[in-house]
Structure 1
Amino acid sequence: MFDLKFIRENPEDFDKALARRGEAAMSGKILSLDSDHRALSTEAQAVQARRNEASKLIGRAKAQGDEAGATALMDEVSGLKAKLAELEDQERAIGEKLNMTLMSLPNMIYDDVPEGDSEDDNVEVRRWGAPAKYAFEPKEHFTLGEDLGLMDFERAAKMSGSRFVVLKGALARLERALGQFMLDLHTSEHGYEEVLTPAMVRGEALLGTGQLPKFGDDAFQTTTGHWLIPTSEVTLTNLHSDEILDEADLPIRLTAHSQCFRAEAGSAGRDTRGMIRQHQFEKVELVSVTTADQSDDELERMTGCAEEVLKRLHLPYRVVKLCSGDIGFGARRTYDIEVWLPGQDRFREISSCSVMGDFQARRMKMRCRPKSEKQTRFVHTLNGSGLAVGRTLIAVMENNQQADGTIRVPQALRPYMGGIEMIGA
């Protein structure tokens, strides 16, 4: 969502920002709708003012015995009432069209976001750890899991269709351990507050974070009109929707471990085997609510918190800054963290950390009030995976596999695994 005042004063800059996203110029359409909306509002106010004035004159005319004048005024009031209803309907329709136009446009990205068309143009920022060398051909996670009898895609498909999995025994426990480990790290060392949120929300919540209206096809909707959350970014960010926060309480840092649901509408034929791209998966989410001055530093901090999970698990990774053609709809700047998967012999995304500016805050009317000031300001919001639990499970399995197909449990997870050091031994 955008500040109309900014678009009115900077139409060329707005169109240039959209062009960096590969979007067509929209300032002309937006300003035309805005002008029509304001004109209708002004006319409706004038009609209402005349209606109020005429209503008062009716009593005065009757008091003076001017029945003809009173009748004429009553006819005028009746006509003004109908005219006002017509204007209000037109104003509402134009306002909705303007709002939906603004809602459908992606956020303006920061100047330092690299130019590019796809993930091939993302810029590597740093690396940590070195991929291990194996005396055998590393297997992918689904082969390891199926050979151990602890990962079952066939029975999951029998119940639910493709892009689902059943985990059993030590692998089920390992996934649970990863979620607990991440939450403990973020709450005890990184200052995030743990929150347990609903898995279903109303459409307004998805509108607020930017999944609707543009990405409705990638989400699941129930027969009651609720939506299954694609990420707990939706619920954590909406906790303070339509609120005015005390600036002294910022930043607010929240984390949640949740089930996430995605239709993966645009991923036909991609990652069809294994757990990389599932309809249902677990994720530990990080969300921050800050002032505008804090948000850039908060993005660096949040990315570091997500990286720390991989460091504790001794998983090699790299951080890349997303280019203009790959960055998400609501983000102004994004860092992807990509973990090394020896079975695929490549890095794969395991976290995205993004600063959204006031894009979401405007949608959900979330403001803060600086100390000793009457004027409120929109907050900035940030979100990141800290981490995607299923993909971390994949990384742990592939990076800790042994020649005999067993999997070594990282030291940091052993307290959560009852001391188990090796899966499958």
Structure 2
Amino acid sequence: MFDIKWIREHADAFDQALAKRGFEASAARLIALDDSRRSHITKLQEAQERRNSASKEIGKAKGSGDDARAQELIDEVAQIKAFIQSGEEEERRLNSNLEAEMAVIPNLPHDDVPEGEDENDNVLLRAHGEKPQFTFNERPKEHFELGETLGDMDFTTAAKLSGSRFVVLKGQVARLERALGQFMIDLHTQENGYTEVSPPLLVHDAPLYGTSQLPKFEEDLFKTTTGHYLIPTAEVPLTNLVAGQIVPEDTLPLRVTALTYCFRSEAGSAGRDTRGMLRQHQFQKCELVSVTTPEQSLEELDRMLACAEKVLQKLGLHYRVMTLCTGDMGFGARKTYDIEVWLPGQDAYREISSCSVCGDFQARRMNTRFRPADSKHPVHVHTLNGSGIAVGRALIAVLENYQNGDGSISVPEVLRPYLGGLEKIG
């Protein structure tokens, strides 16, 4: 969400920033809507002033015995009241129209974000580690081949239960997935300074609006018969923990994390990644959320990225970090880093984490502010979110990178304490 006053004062810069994201110029249209709204509000204020003055004149007219004039004024006040009543409804409509128009406009990119149209224009920031070298001669298998050979990854039964894009994990693979999630949440709370939260998985529409999933991405959400939505990411409840608040400055940066199931309809991914676990309707993710002052947010983005990278480093996985271009960033982001892990079975890098800074874009929608020590007036906080990391994709990466020629999987050393010291599965 944007400040219409800022758009008025920076109309050209606003449109230029939108153009970098491939979005049409919108300043003139938004300003015109605001002009209509402000003009109507002025008329309402003038009517209210006239109603007040006319009410006073009624008393004077009656006091002087001028009943005819008093009746004229009474009739005038009645008309003004009717106008105000309908005018207040019109004001709400005009406010709603302006808000609806701004709600579907993406956030503006930071100046240092590379310009581009899609993922092909993303820029490599750095890479870590080396691709694994296998001692067997056959091509490395994909995760679903390994899982089905182990007998612990069952897509057929899942399809009977729930349809496509679901999986039943069993036995040692299910245990390995659980170990990965526990390892991540322990790392972020015990070493990276995040506070663990166990949030609801069902939310109303207001939190989804606050984090900009609504109204833009409603088709990607699962909605229940009670009007609740299943969370697409724990970013939604975690960020909204401070919705509507003036947060004490001395609590910032606020850092929270949660290990939850997430639910996405994958409405825009028909035909993509139909085999395996890469794109599921239900999956686990360890989410990282920070709330900061404006001065802290870019430094916090680097810190959050480092926390997500530490997961892969401790797992001994090769990955690269990409700075997303303007055309590939998420709707609410001002700057995003993607971590792409190497999957030898696919012979490709695949996204396993995204870390984004949103500036005050979400804070304005949530009405979340803090009061700086040197100011009498509260200002909006900045928010950040990141995957720390996607558990299902981490499972894929471990299966493919730690596979052996006999179909077994070596367990990364950091996970062995969570598996009773087990060194190999299968």
Q: Give the whole-Å Cα distance in 2 for the aligned partners of 1:276 and 1:254.
A: 26
Residue 163 (structure 1) aligns with: 165
Query: Does residue 415 of the first structure (1) align with residue 417 of the second (2)?
Result: yes
Query: Does residue 34 of the first structure (1) align with residue 34 of the second (2)?
Result: yes
Q: Alignment partner of 2:144: what SS?
A: helix
Matches within 5 A, 1:199-348: 199-348=201-350
Residues 179, 389 of structure 1: 8 Å contact kept: yes
TM-score, length of structure 1 as denominator length: 0.98
Q: Alignment partner of 1:239: what SS?
A: helix
Q: CA deviation at 1:288?
A: 0.3
Q: Give the whole-Å Cα distance in 1 for the aligned partners of 2:194 and 2:369.
A: 21
Q: Give the whole-Å Cα distance in 2 for the aligned partners of 1:284 and 1:133.
A: 29
Q: Give the whole-Å Cα distance in 2 for the aligned partners of 1:376 and 1:72.
A: 47
Q: Give the whole-Å Cα distance in 1 for the aligned partners of 2:180 and 2:45.
A: 59
Q: Alignment partner of 1:263: what SS?
A: coil
Residues 139, 343 of structure 1: 8 Å contact kept: yes
Residue 151 (structure 2) aligns with: 149
Q: Give the whole-Å Cα distance in 2 for the aligned partners of 1:133 and 1:58.
A: 94
Matches within 5 A, 1:50-69: 50-69=50-69
Q: Alignment partner of 2:176: what SS?
A: helix
Q: Give the whole-Å Cα distance in 2 for the aligned partners of 1:210 and 1:327.
A: 14
Residue 17 (structure 1) aligns with: 17
Deviates more, 1:67-76 or 1:333-342: 67-76
Residue 113 (structure 2) aligns with: 113
| Runs of at least 4 residues off by over 3 Å | none
Amino acid at match of 1:81: K
Residue 184 (structure 1) aligns with: 186
Residue 129 (structure 1) aligns with: 129
Matches within 5 A, 1:378-397: 378-397=380-399
Q: What are the Cα deviations for residues 297-336 of structure 1, in whole angstroms up to 9, with x where unaligned?
A: 0000000000000000001000000011101101011000
Residue 87 (structure 1) aligns with: 87
Q: Alignment partner of 1:340: what SS?
A: strand
TM-score, length of structure 2 as denominator length: 0.98
Residues 250, 291 of structure 1: 8 Å contact kept: yes
Q: CA deviation at 1:372?
A: 4.7
Residues 173, 417 of structure 1: 8 Å contact kept: yes
Q: CA deviation at 1:60?
A: 3.1
Q: Give the whole-Å Cα distance in 2 for the aligned partners of 1:9 and 1:405.
A: 63
Q: Alignment partner of 2:222: what SS?
A: coil
Q: What are the Cα deviations for residues 254-277 of structure 1, in whole angstroms up to 9, with x where unaligned?
A: 000111000100000000010000
Q: CA deviation at 1:55?
A: 2.2
Residues 248, 371 of structure 1: 8 Å contact kept: no
Q: CA deviation at 1:112?
A: 1.0
Q: Give the whole-Å Cα distance in 2 for the aligned partners of 1:272 and 1:300.
A: 33
Please list every run of 5 or more consecutive structure 2 residues that lacks an aligned counterpart in the other structure: none
Q: Alignment partner of 1:288: what SS?
A: strand
Q: What are the Cα deviations for residues 278-312 of structure 1, in whole angstroms up to 9, with x where unaligned?
A: 00100000000001111010000000000000000
Amino acid at match of 2:224: T
Q: What are the Cα deviations for residues 116-173 of structure 1, in whole angstroms up to 9, with x where unaligned?
A: 1110110001011101122231110011011111001111110100000010011111
Q: Give the whole-Å Cα distance in 2 for the aligned partners of 1:140 and 1:49.
A: 74
Query: Does residue 99 of the first structure (1) align with residue 91 of the second (2)?
Result: no
Q: Alignment partner of 1:391: what SS?
A: helix
Q: Give the whole-Å Cα distance in 2 for the aligned partners of 1:279 and 1:53.
A: 63
Amino acid at match of 2:170: K
Amino acid at match of 2:404: Q
Please list every run of 5 or more consecutive structure 1 residues that lacks an aligned counterpart in the other structure: none
Q: Give the whole-Å Cα distance in 1 for the aligned partners of 2:306 and 2:319.
A: 12
Residues 248, 370 of structure 1: 8 Å contact kept: no
Amino acid at match of 1:367: R
Q: Give the whole-Å Cα distance in 1 for the aligned partners of 2:354 and 2:82.
A: 53
Amino acid at match of 1:63: G
Q: CA deviation at 1:58?
A: 2.3
Residues 281, 390 of structure 1: 8 Å contact kept: yes
Residue 71 (structure 2) aligns with: 71
